């Protein structure tokens, strides 16, 4: 009952207006204000600044600069096996598994279609038919940059406007099709494991999503899907390389094509993960060893 009530309240709030206010306050450079926010946040969430490239709180020009802080060199080890798939973020595994009949599990009793998630384009969705997915949740205390789970070459990017429901567990459990309704940025890559979609899902308070090749994608909000294609000199990325970031936290969804990746046996819903840690393997041109993976 509390979860349903919470989802109803969030649903009637002016989500984008709230996010615009948060967007501005998080970037306010007035020293007493930004220092107060950073100090309160680090105490509330026990943030480990020792692994940040700049560990001194006073060095950040704004709260948003602190929130999207870079890691110090060597703070994360990238699994470098020939066919490794690594976590693109620090966070928690919300769901993972197979895409069945074009549908992705959101939570127990909730799912949505890949067509809806990808902005209504059946041609894109078809590339991931009978494939695999993983949904990764970033809490406020997590590192908030997003990295590549595998080396890849960018083909296309879509900005899909939508709502800004929160992505906490109660809301994910009670808001139908939440991830396919929220604003999101979809990046489509070609990789050694076939097509890959890295989807950065917005949420209330997350007024901005960036990619390293295009900068800040949202805001502005807009009402129509925007598309960028990269047929010539497409950006290419190594495994573990940064590809985007949330200015305040949310969720990343990965989509893979059919019969190309295999999750590690020890992967589980609710499991904490760190950027660069191995979460699976891809088939490539070498058979996968059955004792280290599951299908």
Residues acting as catalytic residues: 90, 147, 250
What distance in Å separates the CA atoms of residue 263 and residue 295, rounded to the nearest whole number?
7
What distance in Å separates the CA atoms of residue 160 and residue 147, rounded to the nearest whole number?
21
Closest CA to 95 of 193, 7, 167, 147: 167
Query: At 21, phi and psi to the nearest 5?
Result: -65, -45
What distance in Å separates the CA atoms of residue 54 and residue 67, rounded to the nearest whole number?
12
Cβ burial 29-63 (10 Å sphere, 16+ → b, else e): eeeeebeebbeebeeeeebebeebeeeebeebebb
Rg of the chain, C-alpha, whole Å? 19
User: Contact at 8 Å (CB) between 3 and 173?
Assistant: yes
- Cα 284 vs. chain centroid, distance in angstroms? 24
| Count of residues making up the chain | 295
């Amino acid at each position: 009952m509390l979860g349903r009530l919470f989802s109803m309240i969030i649903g009637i709030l002016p989500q984008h207006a709230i996010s615009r206010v948060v967007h501005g306050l998080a970037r306010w450079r007035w020293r007493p204000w930004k220092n107060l926010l950073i100090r309160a946040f680090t105490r509330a969430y026990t943030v480990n600044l020792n692994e940040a490239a700049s560990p001194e709180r006073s060095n950040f020009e704004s709260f948003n600069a602190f929130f999207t802080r870079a890691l110090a060199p060597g703070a994360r080890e990238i699994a470098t096996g020939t066919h490794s798939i690594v976590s693109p973020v620090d966070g928690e595994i919300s769901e993972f598994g197979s895409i069945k009949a074009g549908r992705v599990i959101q939570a127990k009793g909730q799912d949505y279609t890949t067509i809806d998630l990808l902005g209504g384009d059946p041609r894109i969705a078809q590339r991931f038919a009978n494939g695999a997915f993983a949904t990764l949740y970033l809490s406020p205390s997590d590192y908030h940059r997003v990295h590549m789970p595998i080396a890849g070459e960018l083909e296309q990017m879509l900005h899909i406007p939508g709502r800004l429901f929160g992505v906490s567990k109660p809301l994910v459990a009670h808001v139908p099709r939440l991830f396919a309704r929220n604003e999101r940025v979809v990046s489509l890559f070609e990789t050694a494991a076939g097509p890959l979609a890295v989807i950065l899902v917005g949420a209330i308070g997350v007024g901005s999503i960036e990619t390293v090749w295009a900068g800040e994608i949202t805001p502005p909000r807009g009402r129509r899907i925007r598309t960028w294609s990269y047929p010539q000199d497409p950006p290419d990325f190594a495994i573990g390389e940064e590809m985007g970031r949330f200015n305040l936290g949310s969720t990343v969804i990965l989509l893979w094509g059919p019969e190309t990746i295999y999750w590690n046996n020890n992967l589980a819903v609710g499991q904490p993960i760190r950027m660069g840690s191995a979460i699976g393997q891809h088939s490539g041109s070498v058979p996968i060893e059955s004792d280290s993976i599951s299908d």
